[in-house]
Structure 1
Amino acid sequence: MTDIDAIYEKLSHVISKEDFLQRIKEKVENMGGLCDEAMAAMLVANELGFSDVGRDSVKIADITAESGTVNFVARIISVFEPKEFTRNDGTIGRVGNLIVGDETGRIKVTLWDNMADLLKTGKVQAGESVQVSGYTKQGYSGVEVNIGNNGVLAESDEEVEVAANAQQIKDIKDGMGDLNLTGKVLETSDVRTFQRKDGTEGKVGNLMIGDGTGSIRVTLWDEKTDFLNEVEYGDTLEIINAYARENAFSQKVELQIGNRGLIRKSETEIEYEEEFIPIGNIVADASDVNISGRVLDISEVRTFEKRDGSPGRVGNLLVGDETGKIRVTLWDEKTDFLDEVEFDETIEVIHAYARENNFSQQVELQIGNHGLIRKSEKTVEYREKFTDISDIIPGESYSVQGKVSDLGELREFEREDGTESVVAGLELTDETGSIRITLWGEQAYVLEDLDIDSELQIIDAYARYGLNEEIELSVGNRSRAIIL
């Protein structure tokens, strides 16, 4: 008795032999070579409600290297492009891989030659349920199932739940492999091209994802970088078969997605909340700093030449919350944000690092390649803190307000580099005393709109000793003069 006869014997009371054989024939034709007649007979039986006929089915968790030939139903998790190789006898072989899973676990399926060719047809897709029949062996990364020309990979109508096998970001360590996780997109980068040692051109791009336990940078290589054009902030992504490496520059662990990795969109809801700290709590050399604040000032973007001769760009924002304010420096493509934001809007700065400015001795935030800046709908309260003139000491930056008690004149001068600029001076008085204010460059032109007794605010001016060793406030590019 053949396998087909044995299967029909169990369902002969619900279908004629002629109809049964016809349905097997149609199944084989419709599957385009994905299954043989015995497997088609099993699929027809399943459609008729007889799932216990044919070959014994096992669960993935029960498969071992010694299981021999196994038969099971699973859902395809990822599909990898087949590759050609040369055998010892000089013939060309083909090999391709799948990762499949059921409610008990996941396993690698390796397809050879004609079966590997199925991966090129597009008929084998991630997310589909399949009937698998192959032989087991111990592979490089664990037990795997091999399907040769006598094996079976066939579509199945059975709904398969895949066991949760995802890591949380907080648990990822340098050197870990076969990582599967789901996260929310926090940032995407531009794609960069580079030349490999063998002279070929490569591509690399990054995105930042987060889950309820933290955030991590993900690096995509070559054709995988095309995915960056498909996603945007807030999308949920599923990452399969990634590996973790420590970035030599930042000393932070990142995820790498190579040829055997997979990244795709997911409908899973991810709870992720950035932890924001008050601006007043930021200290020098702090890393991974997140703040939200109101835009108090926006600088012009400057261009410069980097050490390698390439052009660079830099710009600044002054941002404040109820605890203080801080200057934020943006580099290169991040400076495009300065054209999008307006004074008094609320923004969020994510994954910045803090440095002390050598000139002002003030702590500032830097947004490098791993940082993010974006607009926010949050309401942030900010009130400028003004210092009494009598409390000013050299070497710090201050904001003061008072009345103009004396006005100087605009004076042109030549800088050491040969360029021309202007400078002006005035005296500002409050209830505690008076101080000289020196305004440089564009700031000096405020003098044209002032009179004696005009009320004036000076924001973020630097205190130093001037003529006759008297303390004065210097108002430059990073300061503001506001007429009340």
Structure 2
Amino acid sequence: MKKEILEEYEKVKDKISKEEFLKRFEEIKEEYDVGFMDDIDIARMIVGEYLNQKNEPLSEEKDYKIAEIAEMEGADRNLKIIGRVFRISNTRSFVNRAGKEGKVANVLLADDTRKIRAVFWTPNIKLLKKFKEGDIIQIKGFQVRGGFAGRKEIHLQPRATVKVLNPEDHPHIPEYKEEIIPIAEIKEEDQEVNIIARITRISRIRTFERNGKEGKVASLELKDETGKITYTLWNRDTELIKDLPLKEGDAIKILGAQTRKREGEIYLTHHGLTRIIKGDFKVPQVEEKILKIGDLHEKRDVTVIGLVTKVHDKINFERADGTTGSLRSLEIMDDTGTTRVTLWHDDADLDIKKGDIIKIEGGNVEFDNYTSSHRINTNWNTRIIINPEEDTSLLKVLREYKEHLKPMKISSILEMEDEGEEVDVVGRILSLEDPREFQREDSVGILRNMELADDTGVIRVTLWDEKATKSLNVGDAIKIENARVRLGLYDIELSVGKT
């Protein structure tokens, strides 16, 4: 037990054993999903429960003392609080350790002394319909507990009540102003802002690992008449995409978003007191701009559609800090040109095949000095749609191009005169040699020869390195993509390497 938690336990050691204290500690972590609290705050919550354990059940006849927020203490009981509503979070769902589903929402209240968070649990969620931001409300039936960073907060009890009051009777309570800021004016980090915008793109939910725990992240691309910005949802907040639900084209109001900065760019993030509201807000409609491959130039956040003409093997790598990553390259084409696309991390595992049509939303175009051409990189905010069902003239053209990617007959390959071309072929293994090692200048290579046959002929194929170690047997029917044509001693042969 940590020293600071042990100090909290000492306050109630005459009421609960250390083992029971620790058991309750773990139960709260699971049951209430208190992701906004650290360990010491949970310990203080338990202490508050035992200091208040003599509280009697609520009743309408009980006398309640109005408490100023700044003066409330954990041992106080029979209090009622009056404050103006400044924030109402979206309701979140959770499942406790016992497998029972619950709900939780946060409300930020203020009087003329301070602000405080009020936590509404499953029995209290229905009370949220009684008020809105700006209302002055009275709450009866709560416990004062330690919250995030040691700040006090109130947790409503199952029989808590909420009443909306006449603001004229409480002129001393601070006013609420809902100021909407245009996206173009969001320039400082660590600010709280309200915006109205339209969703132009929703990324898929991605997973990551931090400190041995798995997390989730998703992002919304938002746009108003002044600009665009990324809005990030973390962990359980990603479930809002399904719960609200949110879709591309929706107009939304976000109250209490936090501004952050990453790589010099400002973005917004959702936190425990933020609320997303769908509505018929006046914001520009989404106008999707497809960038043609022939017009690629260095630019961030582009949308491109192309036919996959080549899929390279996935490459795994290790960073300097010991973490691992992966990438995979594709080559795509449209009716204006071809380019290379690099898929990073989770995107590298997408089931993309040669002949698929892909739509890349949110890619970044960079100039590749090695090839002296532009290429597209995906990032954590990119969305890739495989074989989109849209009916556009470009997709119709790409579907026609797809017909020309069909495997060639072996007889046609044997008639080719130029080396270096890449072809696809389908056939059955007629003969297969064992893999052989050979010495390169700075490494050991592996090669393996075989004969491949179809109903038109037989061709010699050489497999190199990783391809030479694949599990193959005589009689197997296989498809080879991007085999390179080369002139052998007596006839045309195929070479199968990295591509």
Q: TM-score, normalised by structure 1?
A: 0.50
Of structures 1 and 2, the larger Rg is shown by: 1
Q: TM-score, normalised by structure 2?
A: 0.49
